[in-house]
Amino acid sequence: MTVPVHLRHDETFVLNLGPQHPATHGVLRVKLTMDGEYIVKAEPVLGYIHRMHEKLAEGGTFAQFMPNTARMDYLHALAFNHGWALVVEKAAGIEVPERAEYIRVITVELNRIASHLLWWAAFLLDLGGFTPLLYAFDDREKIVDLLERVTGSRLTYCYLRFGGVYNDIDDEFIAGTRDFIKRLRGRMPRLYHDLVTHNIILIKRIKDIGFVSAEQCRRYGATGPVARGSGIDYDIRKNEPYSVYPEFDFDVPVFDECDSMARYMVRMHEIEQSMRIIEQALDKLPAGPVMGKAPKVLKPEAGYYYSAVETARGSLGHRLVCNGDKNPYKLKLRSPTFSNLSLFGEVAEGMLLADALAFMGSLDLVIPEIDR
Amino acid sequence: MGLMERTQAALAKMFPQPASAAPPPAGEENQEAPPREQGILAVDPARHGCHLDVLCGPGQVVEVARTLDREGYFLEAISGVDWPDKGQFEVIYDYNRLGGEHCRVMVRALVDRGEPVVPTISGVFPAADWHERETFDFYGIHFQGHPNLIRILLPEDADFHPLRKDYMP
């Protein structure tokens, strides 16, 4: 015999989502106050994979921190390498040879595609679709193999050096990258768009769900695909150009719908734009050294330095304070998803739990990068 | 008038004796200059990554935040810095623009290390909520008026502030 449960409307209960939950993709916990299936209050609880990278940075030299950078956003590790290299090069006044900058851009953009593919796979897995994961991982595997060839690792890269990169790329890498782009372009329309993007089940799950306004993005400091899905034309690669990005012709996809579908579309279009950048970089790849002159021991002038790069998830900033010593006096990492997640509580209010999970997936969370 | 000049003008109202008394040329290291009490300094973005360096008193951070909010800025990060030799903590607010004309503003406030209290700006920018909690977590700087000033990344029963220079694990 079943007893019907009647919840009074002023009666709520607390539901713990995580820290071990497949939809949070890591150890994120969200304390949800529920009224039936509806969320009254959502409160993310952070810190389950906090490793205090900022203290580790203070304890070692500038170069010793490079491997740590890849262990934060392990899906777009090369962008974190790049951000750290750029801020230290700025502080210490190190010149980078042009070929090295081109190689940086090629590898960072390849890594961005891999990151978006993995997000796509995991997001659809959250929504109950298993097949896309197999396609995305097939393509991602090609990138990981290519990057393994030049960087020596498959996930947590430590490829960039102050003044260049660790290893030159060879003809096989170039040919492999061109093959990969050709292959992904061929697979994109049918396997990615026909099967998934235009799929009515997906559209029903994410269209008009998870509304994030442009003003909310500004108040919470959301950047990356989250901001671009809310009609904000902001990409560090265009707005505050660094490295050799100004030399390439590419677009910044912006969608005005502000919903989860818009964020989905931004990332799908970014894959194509990254491929365009890589192709142009391979065409224009200059000859020359891949390492410039950099002192063995770095002692940047005392002062305040800031540098930002566009990762797959948004604007990554390094606030570096130097006191003329051989290790950073203070390093603050402004990680994009820390700010992107902070608007979750406000947006999830009043949402159905299942919709909130789809919304959370559309934010593309990487927990080690939030917790640092 | 460019965005940077407009921002500078809007902020200058807060500082009766602006730094214009002897402004060093943009980009020049300001370490050699006599220490400023407060004021706005234009710095070389290619060298330092920001356009304006605003040094204000802890009491002014909310007013600065309101001014920058009106000008359409967003809060990128809040960082703490420990200066034990000077007996001070420094709180650095990084502001930036979401698209359009680009301008980065670094706002710095120095507080006494023995009694570190800064008013919260989470009422102006909700983004500050978590960043202030993090700064409290790592440095023990109190953000007065913060609605929920509890630890964010460290365990709730931690009794230390690890980014203080005198912290020994």
Q: Which residues of chain A lie closer than 8 angstroms to B30, CB-CB?
A: 303
User: Alpha-carbon distance A13 to A35, whole Å?
Assistant: 7
Please report the pLDDT score of residue B29 as a whole number: 46
CATH code at position A311: 1.10.645.10
Residues of chain A whose beta carbon is less than 8 angstroms from a beta carbon of chain B are 46-47, 50, 52, 54-55, 58, 87, 90, 214, 217-221, 223, 227, 232-234, 239-240, 301-308, 315, 317, 319, 321, 329-330, 332, 334, 338-339, 342-343, 346, 371-372
Residue from A28, A114, A13 nearest A360 by CA: A28
Q: Which of B43, B48, B93 should be substituted to probe chain A, the one whose Cβ sees the most A Cβ atoms within 10 Å?
A: B48
Please choose, from the candidates B142, B45, B57, B48, the residue with its C-alpha nearest in 3D space to the C-alpha of residue B107. Answer: B57
The enclosing H or E element of A205 equals helix A200-206
Measured distance CA(A99)–CA(A289) in Å, rounded: 7
pLDDT per residue as tens digits for the range B12-34: 777 765 444 444 444 544 444 44
Which of A88, A216, A220, A310 is the best residue to mutate to test the B interface, defined by the most B CB atoms within 10 Å of its own CB? Answer: A220
Distance separating the N- and C-terminal Cα atoms of chain A: 50
Report if pTM > 0.80: yes
Residues of chain B positioned with their CB less than 8 A from the CB of A219: 74, 125-127
| Residue among B49, B125, B129 whose CB faces A307 most closely | B49
Closest CA to A62 of A271, A369, A354, A298: A298
Query: Residue B102 falls within a domain, yes or no?
Result: yes
Q: Can you give A13-38 as a three-state secondary structure string?
A: EEEEECCCEHHHCECCEEEEEEECCE
Structural domains in chain B (count): 1
Q: Is residue A145 part of a domain?
A: yes
pLDDT at site B28: 46
Supply the pLDDT for residue B24: 47
Task: Count helices and strands (H / E) in chain A.
Answer: 15, 8
Task: Kindly list the residues from chain B whose CB atom is less than 8 angstroms away from the CB atom of residue A46.
Answer: 152-153
Of A223, A302, A306, the CB nearest to B94: A306
pLDDT score of A192 = 87
Q: Which residue of B has its CA nearest to A370?
A: B153
Q: Give the model's pLDDT for residue A144.
A: 93
Which residues lie below 8 Å from residue B87, measured CB to CB, with a gap of 6+?
Answer: B112, B113, B114
The residue range of the domain holding A44 is 13-366
- Which residues from chain A sit within 8 angstroms of residue B96, using beta carbons? 308, 315
Contact A47 B127 (CB under 8 A): no
Residue-wise pLDDT for B68-123, tens only, equals 888 889 999 999 999 998 888 999 999 998 877 888 889 989 999 888 999 999 98
Percent of chain B's residues with pLDDT above 90: 23
Q: Which of B74, B81, B154 sits opposite A218 (nearest CB)?
A: B74
Domain containing residue B66: CATH number:
3.30.460.80
Classify residue A94: in a domain, yes or no.
yes
In a domain, B101, yes or no: yes
The reply to whether A371 falls in a domain is no
State the Cα–Cα distance between residues B68 and A90, nearest whole angstrom.
Answer: 26
As a whole number of angstroms, the distance between CA A120 and CA A99 comes to 32
Count of pairs with CB atoms under 8 A, one residue in A, one in B: 107
In a domain, residue A234? The reply is yes
Residues of B in contact with A232 (CB under 8 A): 98-99
Q: Domain limits at B158?
A: 1-8+38-169
Q: What is the pLDDT of residues B32-58, one digit of tens each?
A: 444 566 777 877 877 888 888 888 888
Look up residue A42 and give its two tokens.
């959502």
Q: What is the pLDDT of residue A193?
A: 87
- Distance, in angstroms, between A44 CA and closest chain B CA? 10
Which of B31, B50, B94 best probes binding to A when mutated, by most A CB atoms within 10 angstroms?
B94
pLDDT at A5 (0 to 100): 55
Phi, psi of A24 (to 5 degrees): -95, -5
Residues of B in contact with A330 (CB under 8 A): 79, 81-82, 163
In a domain, A116, yes or no: yes
Q: What pLDDT, on a 0 to 100 scale, did the predictor assign at position B18?
A: 46
**Degrees, nearest 5: CA angle B20-B21-B26:** 45
Q: Is residue B61, in this structure, part of any structural domain at all?
A: yes
Tell me the C-alpha distance between B158 and A27, whole Å: 19
> Does the residue B150 lie in any domain?
yes
Within-domain flag for A6: no
Which stretches of chain A drop beneath a pLDDT of 50? 1
d(Cα B160, Cα B147) in Å, to the nearest integer?
21
Strands B117-119 and B142-144: parallel
In the prediction, which pLDDT does B57 show? 85
Instruction: Measure B98 CA to nearest chain A CA, in Å.
Output: 6
- Give me the number of domains chain A comprises: 1
| Option in A214, A220, A303 nearest B127 (CB) | A220
Rounded to an integer, what distance in angstroms lies between the CA atom of residue A355 and that of residue A208?
10
From CA B109, how far away is CA A84, in angstroms rounded? 25
Residues 6+ apart with CB under 8 A from A134: none
For residue A122, CA distances in Å to A44, A165, A310 come to 20, 31, 21
A219, A303, A346 member nearest B125 (Cβ):
A219
B163 and B80 in contact (C-beta within 8 Å)? yes
- B25 lies in a domain? no
Residues 6 or more apart whose CB falls under 8 angstroms from that of A18 comprise: A24, A27, A28, A29, A30
Residues of chain A contacting B130 with CB distance shorter than 8 Å: 338-339, 342
Which chain A residue has the Cα nearest residue B169? A55
| B81 DSSP β-pair partners | B90
Q: Is residue B165 part of a domain?
A: yes
What's residue A114's pLDDT? 93
In a domain? residue B13: no
A8 domain residue, yes or no:
no
The amino acid occupying position B156 is: E
Establish if A7 belongs to a structural domain. Answer: no
